[in-house]
Structure 1
């Protein structure tokens, strides 16, 4: 199995040209918004302890919620980067092209949060994908489904915890993209399951999870554990 290439402590694509393309095509679209958020986030992070003994503390308030999203986007970006670096057998050309698009989106989301948070961003996280067989289409797609469903439910659960309206708008734009990913992955696994009752409730609403519920799952895929003990709960 090929490894994810590391740059310092962060994850990058194996092909520098692809990384540059992602930066230009995807990330620049977020640049202005990221710059506008930096000042407010930095003010919220002055007293946060980012490295407690039981893991990396995401922080508190809106900045903590954004670090929470950043942690999840790091995980997803690392996963799809590995999928493309060591493609599974049995995937059509069209399928792999769309998986690459998802990878690019997740990298753009990761870089957006990293730049928006500035010095208040948590460190780069080291994933643990030992439970994933990257040569198996079934293993990869089922893991992708789990990650995408988790991400959508995480944003849904965190929305009510965000105070600043600008952050809520941005979270809404990102979760809608994550939901598109989830729908696509679900349908290539089993057509028609894009919005079944495992993710959509009887009121026609996407299900949600609290940060504590999400991090319990996410940490099983991380060597570098994170804690949301200081995140708002209501």
Structure 2
């Protein structure tokens, strides 16, 4: 089984498969930094039991928000996008950076360190950027749907819900730009933490140290 095979059950629209085929981005080896950062979230059962569990859930969300923020920021700096796609990257990038700021503000000293990222040049190729953005936004919606009911703190839940609804709008926006149905189903399915962790590991986008492939070295990389 290849790393792509493990993504197919979630990647129902073929967004990640398209990215893998064209850019060979899904390298299969788990990134050590990403595993450590996402692993801090702990088990879902434990997360629901205590305020400490809530911190773990928000740090899990923070890692995914950092991933998205870095992705869009690098795309903006690369300057390879234009038209509606460039507009989407600029607006959504601002949102994702705001999400990171908000989660770090709520978590304060309990927030994890920012991971390093390596997007393998995908931010400099419009078709690959678009396909990856579809997968990221769908992933974010599914992760928040899975984790939000497990949050005990009203303050933390409010922060998560405020972000989750915006992520759903992001998903609809990029799906429309990709020629996909903005709302493919009547109900969204949650994505368990273990499955999400496996997906993120498979991309290799969370790395031990910053590195960018491509013509330029965007300022926000890492």
TM-score of the pair, normalised by structure 1? 0.65
Q: Where does residue 175 of structure 1 map in the other structure? A: 164
Q: Which runs of 5+ in 2 are unaligned?
A: 1-31, 42-51, 210-222
Q: Please say if residues 55 and 224 of structure 1, whose CA atoms lie closer than 8 Å, have aligned partners that are also in contact.
A: no
Q: Where does residue 76 of structure 2 map in the other structure? A: 84
Would you say 1:125 and 2:115 are equivalent positions?
yes
Corresponding residue SS for 1:214: helix
Would you say 1:212 and 2:201 are equivalent positions?
no
Give the drift of 1:55: 2.1
Would you say 1:195 and 2:203 are equivalent positions?
no
The whole-number CA distance in structure 1 between the counterparts of 2:54 and 2:162 is 17
CA distances 1:156-188 after superposition (whole Å, capped 9, x unpaired): 010121112332232112111001111000001
RMSD: 2.2
Would you say 1:106 and 2:106 are equivalent positions?
no
Count, aligned residues: 164
Q: Which runs of 5+ in 1 are unaligned?
A: 1-50, 226-234
- Alignment equivalent of 2:129, drawn from 133, 137, 140: 140
Corresponding residue SS for 2:158: helix
The whole-number CA distance in structure 1 between the counterparts of 2:73 and 2:117 is 12
Compare the two structures and name the one with the higher helix fraction: 2
The whole-number CA distance in structure 2 between the counterparts of 1:127 and 1:173 is 26
The whole-number CA distance in structure 1 between the counterparts of 2:142 and 2:157 is 15
The whole-number CA distance in structure 2 between the counterparts of 1:190 and 1:125 is 32
Q: Please say if residues 67 and 122 of structure 1, whose CA atoms lie closer than 8 Å, have aligned partners that are also in contact.
A: yes
- Alignment equivalent of 2:205, drawn from 197, 213, 221: 221
Q: Where does residue 85 of structure 2 map in the other structure? A: 95
Higher relative contact order (CA closer than 8 Å, sequence separation 6+) = 2
Q: Where does residue 29 of structure 1 map in the other structure? A: none
CA distances 1:5-42 after superposition (whole Å, capped 9, x unpaired): xxxxxxxxxxxxxxxxxxxxxxxxxxxxxxxxxxxxxx
Q: Where does residue 116 of structure 1 map in the other structure? A: 106
The whole-number CA distance in structure 1 between the counterparts of 2:208 and 2:168 is 26
Give the drift of 1:224: 4.4
Superposition pairs of residues 141-160 of structure 1, within 5 angstroms: 141-160=130-149
CA distances 1:99-133 after superposition (whole Å, capped 9, x unpaired): 21100000000111112211111111001212x53
Q: Please say if residues 152 and 175 of structure 1, whose CA atoms lie closer than 8 Å, have aligned partners that are also in contact.
A: yes
Corresponding residue SS for 1:195: coil
- Alignment equivalent of 2:59, drawn from 63, 67, 92: 67
The whole-number CA distance in structure 2 between the counterparts of 1:205 and 1:168 is 21
